[in-house]
Amino acid sequence: MKKWRFTGILLAAGLCLASCGAEGPDGMAAAGNSQASQTAADAPQAAKNNQAFSFPCVTVVSGEETFIPIEHINYTESITLDGEGKEQTISDYSGYLQPGDIAGVPMVPYQPGIAIRTEEEPLSCAYERFTLNGTSLGERTAADGLENIVLPEPEEDYLVELRVSFGEEGRSAGYQYFFRVTDQEPTPALEITSGSGTEKTMIAAAKGAGAFPALTMEENVRYLPLGSRLELAFPEDIRLEEITVYDMVLTDSRENFLENTDGLGKGTKLQPEAPVLYLDENGKAMERGYPKNDRTGGVLRGFLFQCRFADGREEVYSAAVRTDADFGTGTESSV
């Protein structure tokens, strides 16, 4: 199976700077979603500056595997010029998420030397460990660089929350990253195909919902028409005991994950002996108001596969395809 290099392609993903009027970087409630009032003339420049935010991705390396933690943008700050040439500080806050409420957190098997990496030195970083239900296992600890964070061998699985800020001249941003450290052995890769023979299409799959930004990059995501049959496979010596699929409609944001596990709903159980998924309509594709949902391939769909193997190991896999909003969608290309 082809090994995808997520580290490089994540750098090109755009940032979603949605504001909620929630907490600021110091944890205090923000008065609003912008500290500077903007005139109509300022808006285009502000939008341009917001779109230009791009900082290195963070990955977790354990043994020979690289995992992408779930990323949440807490705040962004940028200095821009208004219509009169005066500097304005534009700040957006989206608050902090609770570790125990996020679905699809990647499971990182513990190995000595487990490492957290990024391609640029952060302005600041800290970490905290939690039980799986979100109870803190100690105080948040500041670290002099992500490479200096040392995680203990788990007696029981635990969640890790990283708080990291990156910055450059005139702009900065703060992030949360989430992943789970487990004492189970590494799980196998998931292979997904559609069609057969010369028409066979390979669908990229990864572990955890943090990989969605990489999976949906143009060079990785594949188009499949509604009604397509997706076949899932693991190595022959690995027996699957249970598999449940959760269907998501994705956006252009890097933040394609569910902030509350209740949002997963009941899911759909597949036959573990030979799991097959048929690509049906998802009504949320129309509700989201996609600008291209009237075109062929105008909708991004994400899937979380919650798996339990016969030997007791568990894993959540992610995959994404580009498809249509409904069976009556036109044939104009979305690309």
pLDDT of residue 269: 94
pLDDT of residue 265: 65
pLDDT of residue 254: 61
Domain 191-323, CATH class in plain words: mainly beta
Q: Residue 324 forms beta bridges with which residues?
A: none
> Across the 335 residues of the chain, what is the mean pLDDT of every consecutive 10-residue run?
33 26 30 30 38 68 94 89 84 88 91 91 96 94 94 96 91 94 96 86 93 87 93 90 91 61 74 93 68 71 94 95 76 42
Would you state the torsion angle of the CA atoms of residues 49, 51, 56, 59, taken in this order, to the nearest 10 degrees? 150
* Domain ranges across the chain: 6-182, 191-323
- Distances in Å between the Cα of 121 and the Cα atoms of 31, 58, 125, 165, 180 are 31, 11, 10, 9, 23
- Distances in Å between the Cα of 45 and the Cα atoms of 38, 40, 42, 54, 253 are 10, 10, 6, 17, 20
Distance (Å, whole) CA 257 – CA 260? 9
- What global pTM score does this model have? 0.78
Residue 140 CA, distance from chain mean position: 23
